[in-house]
Structure 1
Amino acid sequence: MHSLEDQEKKLFELVKEDLRKIEQELIKEVSERNEFLHDPAMHLLKAGGKRLRPAFALLAAKLGDYDFEKVKPLAVALELIHMATLVHDDVVDNSMLRRGLPTVKANWGNKMSIHIGDRIFAKSLLLIDSCKNNYVAKVLAEVSVKMTTGEIQQLNGAKNISTSIKDYLIKIKRKTALLLSASCELGGVMANVSPRVVNALKQYGLYVGMAFQIIDDILDFTADEKVLGKPVGSDLRQGLITLPVLLALKRDKKHELWRELQNLPQNNANIEQIIKEIKYLGGISEAYAWAKNYIEKAISAFELVPKSPVKDTFLEIAQFIVQRNY
């Protein structure tokens, strides 16, 4: 039986060679003559990642007039935007580990992390300009603003156990789903895909993005720490109230979980017990159901897309999102 890692590699078979080229372009973009800048930027890049955003852009372009050179700057820019948000997130969240490795913050401190994040984001702007497409620039500008709004919303709502599920969904849409949606949509735009299919790509990316973040939030409670690359329960330790917690609270008739959560982060010693309560109350299983529902919506949005190996790949990726354990 193939591992999920093997399955993930096969999912991107159609764009495997071009993703390797994207990786080389990313190295070129983050490389610096100044060692002071080069080392932390390369550390961030070499920490790896799924490269889901450039993969989506390339696959979407495969549904139209595929020209790698034309879609390349978009694909690289998308990953740079994502990388910039990660390095900034690690400062805000005081995270010392990401993907099992020390963060830029851990090795070089907050000031360097902020500057590296800003610089990487600025380089994405140059690439976006080189796309020579006003719509691409407009969408990514709007998405970037909404991403920061989502991050501020998360910061403002930390430790607030009265957060509504609606507010949580709005936050993850802004933080995660919109950039994945743009990756799918704009890959199609750069390849002259028909407006109907571009809209399907946009909707697919949005729903997959919602499911992706929900699964991330579930894995914070259920994943193996070595596989996850950070301590289990990291979100709770930071006071972040995610969907499994909100769903468990709805079933918390005795208000025991509510009382435990009110004492976070001072109550970090009881994190394992709190996680057990969240699982017992069905927060994890119900959150999975929410993620699967979003995947069904993504698959439904793709119904009008003509059958092809590319379409099959998009549908397989959607199913993989809810199966992954990392």
Structure 2
Amino acid sequence: MTPRPPAAGSRLSGKLGLSDRIFAGLRSRTLLTTVEAGLARVETELEGEVRSADKLADVTARYLYEAGGKRVRPMLAILTAQLGQGTTHEVVEVATALELTHLGSLYHDDVMDGADKRRGVPSAQTVWGNNIAILTGDLLFARASQLMARRGERAIQLQADTFERLVLGQMHETVGPQDGDEPVDFYLKVLADKTGSLIAAAAQSGVIYSGAPEEFEQPMVVFGEKAGVAFQLLDDVIDLSPDPSETGKVPGTDLRAGVPTMPYLLLGHRSDAASADLRARIDEGQERIADGADPAILDAALAELRDHETTHETLRLAHQWSQEAIDALAPLPDGAVREALTRFARAVADRSA
């Protein structure tokens, strides 16, 4: 029998602690109620969009949806929509499409990374195989495009541009830096494309489809991209957590699969023998795992990397990108929305606190 993950329980009470950390303060409480109501509408739309008349597609497309999720992107779209006419039907549709795009990308990411778990459940390809997982991701991308098409040419262009960046980010991550590329700078560009672009699109879409002032669009793009990079940098730190309940994945999943993360890349900037030795041991372990060795052979090296200064440096970088996201909010009017966005940027870089 096909395993069934627990029912979706994603609201603002997830790991980001959004309800407590982002919507703190009296004037934010009314905003929280508004955003939660909008998220409920998105959730209803999502639930309908992941269903299919085809029995196999219905099960596979609902699989990761039902495993939960933070719904960061719809939350941002609904939040920035409050700068205009609020949570319009158009905002809900576009927010749903962007979350479907994110969900589809997870199916593909897990195949490429060889991940065993996602959101605390076996990854889709471990249940149905790579081909079905890839095709399920494609199906969700198609559903997202159908939703965007209802909103016209501008929405289609937003989806296409964002999707192009997602694909290029994944492509560049897959092939790695080329001659002349500085690895850390290259990696930050990958994060901006893979993670930042979709968060930026969500923040921008709330402005566009609520009829908010046009001059808020570009600040939201900058904010979303920088917050997305901060989010992913902290994920690199959390990925090393020894507690699977914090990540929903096996600790060190990315590095065991040969996917570089910022703590590992920063080892290359170190000239001391201990750092060079640690990086060499990680490289050797990755090669042996690629040849079929037990991924547990990297346990000791990853535990050492967890406590290494480069991991602390990655955390500082996450805070730096978070602050740059906050700085981008300067053109917005003072008020509950700007306050909540500021807290959001801080929260994504401080989830392990």
Q: Normalising by the residue count of structure 1, what TM-score does the alignment of the two structures yield? A: 0.92
User: Aligned to 1:95, what secondary structure does the other structure show?
Assistant: coil
Trace 1:29-178 onto structure 2 (pairs within 5 A).
29-132=49-152, 134-157=153-176, 164-178=183-197
| Number of positions where the alignment pairs a residue of Structure 1 with one of Structure 2 | 321
1:303 and 2:330 correspond: yes
Quick check: 1:223–1:325 contact (8 Å CA) kept in 2? Answer: no
Cα distance in structure 1, aligned partners of 2:346 and 2:165: 27
**Structure 2: distance between partners of 1:6 and 1:177:** 17
The amino acid of 2:117's aligned partner reads L
Q: Which amino acid aligns with 1:7?
A: G
Matches within 5 A, 1:231-250: 231-250=250-269
Residue 260 (1) aligns with residue 286 (2): no
Q: Kindly indicate which of the two structures has a greater share of residues assigned to helix.
A: 1
Write the letter of the residue equivalent to 2:193: R
Aligned equivalents of 2:236 and 2:131: distance in 1?
28
Q: C-alpha separation between the residues in 1 aligned to 2:148 and 2:126? A: 30
Amino acid at match of 1:70: E
Q: Deviations over 1:126-147 (max 9, x none)?
A: 1111112x33321221121111
1:16 corresponds in structure 2 to: 36
Q: What is the CA–CA distance in structure 1 between the aligned matches of 2:169 and 2:316, rounded to whole Å?
A: 23
CA distance, structure 1, for counterparts of residue 120 and residue 106 of structure 2 = 14
Whole-angstrom distance in 2 between the partners of 1:235 and 1:130: 37
Aligned-residue offset at 1:228: 1.2
C-alpha distance in 1, partners of 2:65/2:190?
Answer: 26
CA 281–45 in structure 1, closer or farther in 2 if over 3 Å, else same: closer
| Pairing 1:217-228 to 2, within 5 Å after superposition | 217-222=236-241, 224-228=243-247
Gaps of 5+ in 1: none
Deviates more, 1:87-96 or 1:44-53: 87-96
1:229 maps to 2:269: no
Q: CA deviation at 1:117?
A: 0.9
Determine which of 294, 305, 314 is the counterpart of 2:341.
Answer: 314
Per-residue CA deviation, residues 139-160 of structure 1 (Å, 9 max, x unaligned), is 22112111111111111129x9
Cα drift, residue 190 of structure 1 = 1.1
Name whichever of 4-13 and 259-268 sits farther off. 4-13
Equivalent AA in structure 2 for residue 168 of structure 1: Y
Matched, 1:25 2:45: yes
Shift of 1:115: 1.5
User: C-alpha distance in 2, partners of 1:47/1:276?
Assistant: 28
Q: Once the 2 structures are TM-superposed, how far is the Cα of residue 253 of structure 1 from its aligned partner?
A: 1.7
C-alpha separation in 1, matches of 2:14 and 2:156: 35
- Partner amino acid for 1:256? D
Please say if residues 251 and 281 of structure 1, whose CA atoms lie closer than 8 Å, have aligned partners that are also in contact. Answer: no
Mean Cα displacement is larger for which, 4-13 or 221-230? 4-13
Q: Deviations over 1:4-54 (max 9, x none)?
A: 748323447231011011111111111112221111111121011111111
CA distance in 2, matches of 1:223, 1:57: 33
Contact in 2 for aligned 1:53/1:180 (Cα 8 Å): yes
Identity %: 29
Equivalence for 1:199 = 218
CA distance in 1, matches of 2:111, 2:185: 27
Uncovered stretches (5+) of structure 2, i.e. residues with no partner: 1-12, 24-31, 290-294
1:236-265 CA-partner distances (Å, limit 9, x unpaired): 101111111112332242121232133132
Superposition RMSD in Å: 2.2
Query: 1:70-121 CA deviation, whole Å, 9 max, x = no partner?
Result: 2111011000000110011111112221011112212221121122111110
Take 2:320 and 2:99, find their aligned partners in 1: how far apart are those partners?
27
- Three-state SS of the structure 2 residue aligned to 1:216 is helix
Task: Give the distance between the partners of 1:124 and 1:270, measured in 2 at CA.
Answer: 40
For 1:6 and 1:319, the matched residues in 2 are separated by 10
Report the residue type matching 1:204 in the other structure.
Answer: F
CA distance in 2, matches of 1:6, 1:197: 25
